[in-house]
Structure 1
Amino acid sequence: MNNVNYEMIFKRKSFHLFRNIGNKKISQQELYEIEETYRNLTPLILDIKTKIKIVPASQTSCKRGQEYSILFYSEKKDNYLQNIGYLGEQLELYLVSNNIGTLWFGIGKTEEPVFDGLDFVIMIAISKIDNEQKFRKDMFKSKRKPVDEIWSGEPVTGVTDIVRFAPSACNTQPWFVEHIGDEIKVFRYKKFGKRGIMPVAQVVYYNQIDIGIFLCFMNLCLIHNNIAYDIEINNDSGCDNEMTLTAVYKLLR
C-alpha cells in the first residue's frame, strides 16, 4: 500500500483486447520483479497461503492478444477469494505503474489447476503498452454507479467518490457502504437479476473477488487521505443474500 498505487487508480483501465499497443515486450527482469513484488504484498488475511505463476498466453484459455497471464493460486480458507482480489489489485496497480496493461479474466482456464498444492483462483492477462496515453485519461468518464447507489450516510472526502471506480466482473459493482459516525460497513451487494454475462452459479464466486478489490481501493484512499483506521473482516461464506457484511472500518481520526 503506497501512494504510487493510489495514483495508478486514475490511470488503470481494463484492456479487453490487447491491440494497437506497440511492439514493446515485457522483459525477463520485469517478470522477475513482478514475482518479487507479489511476494512482498500485504494480504487481507494473513494466514492464507497464495502464489502466482506467470505463463505465456498460449498456456491458458484467455485469447485477448496478451503476452502473459498471471495465475493466482490459493489455499481454500475463509475469505480466500476476497484475499486474492485484495492482493491481485495491489499487483495490478503496480503493473500499471510500469506501463503494463492488464485485464482481470474471470472465466479463463489453465493447464495447471493446482500449483504447489494450491488451487487456481483467477488470472490477470498482461502486455507491455508502448505509450502511457493508451491508459485511461479521465477515470471519471468511466461507467460506474452514482455515489447514492453505493454509499449511505455522510460521504468521506477523497474516499467516497474514488472507491466506486474499483473494477469488477462484468462491471457489476457488487458493493454497498454504510457510514454512521466513525464506523464504515462494507457489504457485498447482490442485486437479483443483474449479473452481466456471468453464469448464475459463478456470480457469488467472482463478486467475492470483486469485494477484495474494492477493499484495496478503500484502504488506499483512506491511507492517501491520512485517515487512520482499524478494520475487522467478517467471514463471508459465499451466501446468496442480497447484502452480506464483508468489513467494518473504525475511523480513528
Structure 2
Amino acid sequence: MLDGPRSLCVLGCGTMGEAIVAGVLRAGWLPRENIVVTARREAVAERLRTRLGVAATTDNLAACEAAEVVLVCLKPQRFADILDTPKMRAALAGKLLISIAAGVNLDKLARWLPQTALVRAMPNTPSLIGEGMTVVCRLPAETANAANDEQLGLALRIFASVGECLEVEAKLMDAVTGLNGSGPAFVYVMLEAMADGGVMMGLPRDVALTMAAHVFRGAAAMVLDTDMHPAALKDQVTTPAGCTIAGILTMEDGRIRSVLARTVQEAAKVAAKLG
C-alpha cells in the first residue's frame, strides 16, 4: 500500500494536514510524487505546491479517485457535503479513509461510505513541531468498515511522523478530543498564569515565560520517563513546612483539580455535538 502515484491524498490540507504531510516527508518513507493534497481555493493549492513540493488541486473527487489512502482534514461541518455523494462513495470504495475531525464518529462515516475501511484519529497541535500525540480508533473487526491490521498500522505510521500514537476504543474518542485535542490550549492557559505569577513577583516577562514553559516540559518528561504517578512526583518536591506545599494548598483552595477535570469534561461534551 502507498506504492503507487498519488497514493496518499490529504483532503482539505490546512494547518494540521500540512504538518502531517511535512512530517511524512521528513520521515522519508513516502516520496513527494506519491502525495496529493486538496484545498478550496487555487491560491492555497499553489502555496501548498510551493511549500511542500507535492501535487495540489481544488478537485476533491479527482484526488480521491487517484489515491489509495485518503486523510480527511476537513472541518466537521463540511464532511457531509464532500463525502456523502454517490461519486465520492464510488471513488472511496475499497480504500482506506482516515478522519481527524472532532465529533464525526465512525458510525456516521460508515453510513456515508459503506464500502470504505475507516480509521478515526485525533492529533493535537504540537504535531506542528513533531511533538504531537495522536489517538486512533477503528470499528470492530466484524463490521463492514473495519480497518484491518495493515491499514491501522499504516495510519499509525503516518501519525508517528509527527509524534507519538496510541489506539483506543471508538466510544472513547469524544473524551480523547476533550483531553488530547483541546488539551494544549488548557496547558497554555496554565502556563501563562504561572508566568503571570512570576511577573507579579518581579521576574521579567520573557524570563517568566521561559521558566514556566520548561517547568511544564520537564514535569511532563518526568511522568513519561519514570512511569511514576504524578502524585508521587509531587511529593518528591513537597517538603514539610516548605514553599511548595504552601503553593499547592493555594491551588486546592481554588478547586483547581475539579476545574481542570470539568474543563476536559465540557470540551468532550461539545466535541460530541460537532459532527
TM range (shorter): under 0.3
Higher relative contact order (CA 8 A, sep 6+): 1
TM-score (norm 1): 0.27
Q: Which has the higher strand share?
A: 1
TM-score (norm 2): 0.25
